[in-house]
Amino acid sequence: MSAAIRVGFVGLGNIGRPMALRLAAAEAIDLHVYDVAPEPVAELVAAGATAAASVAELDVDVVCVMVRDDDQVRAVAADVPHDRVLVVHSTVAPGTPAELAAAGHRVLDAPVSGGPMGAAEGSLAIMVGGAADAFAVARAALEAMGSKVVHAGPVGAGTRMKLARNLIHFVAFTAVTEAQRLAEAAGLDLVALGEVVRHTDAITGGPGAIMYRDTTAPIAPDDFWHGVLSHVAALGEKDLGFAIALADELGVDVPLAREALPRLGKGLGL
């Protein structure tokens, strides 16, 4: 049986606390925790973790950090010895992981996707940037917290992947608000529409359903994906055209739909 990996966790908030609880429940992980709030620390201690009085007192191999912003990440990192693997789960600015690495830290930028529910279930997607040796040290801890752990590349790659992922997320949220205005003006039940959206996205995969190619270059006519995505574009352009016409009839502003209509086919590589 392999020796336990000593893991520290700093930042026991809405997502950090359930992430740390997954580590506390994992075999072969010796968990140490620190937070400025005493309540989540007490909960983690009850779950089997050891409390540290400060970040500097975390006697561990790996320090996982899930705090609010870049400044808090820097403040925690200042107290982490350079021989430890510093795993930054917070979503930070694209240049921050490289800045920490330049300061001498063994950094893995490892932002997560899946929210508090994914953290509680251990089903987070964790996107990791950093050196292979540091990733190997932290891997058992990462896999205890996430069911999809992707080594995206060198330092900074995890953060860049998270930002690309969340661009989809929040542009889609904005599109949802546009669709809600259209549906409301058309006299529809918005709650029922939301149920339909969640139901069908669970079947089709939502926006990720088209993300199977390894390039955004134009698609050759004899490529398998040309036929598939041509069909997607034809359906999309037809339905966007109808939706925009309905919006014009009802006097609803749908700028994202108007932007999407001429861009869809080109964006798909056609």
Q: Which residues are tagged catalytic? A: 162
Return the bridge partners of 65, or none.
10, 88
Nearby residues of 229 by Cβ (< 8 Å), 6 or more positions away: 210, 219, 268, 269, 270
User: Any residues with CB less than 8 A from the CB of 38 and at least 6 apart, and which?
Assistant: none
Q: Where are the alpha helices (DSSP H) in 153-189?
A: 157-185
CB 43 within 8 A of CB 69: no
Kind of pairing, strands 124-129 and 112-113?
antiparallel
134: tokens are 């540091």
Angle between helices 157-185 and 224-250 (to 10 degrees): 40
Phi first, then psi, for residue 56 (nearest 5°) are: -60, -25
Query: Using CA atoms, how far apart are residues 100 and 266, in angstroms rounded to an integer?
Result: 38
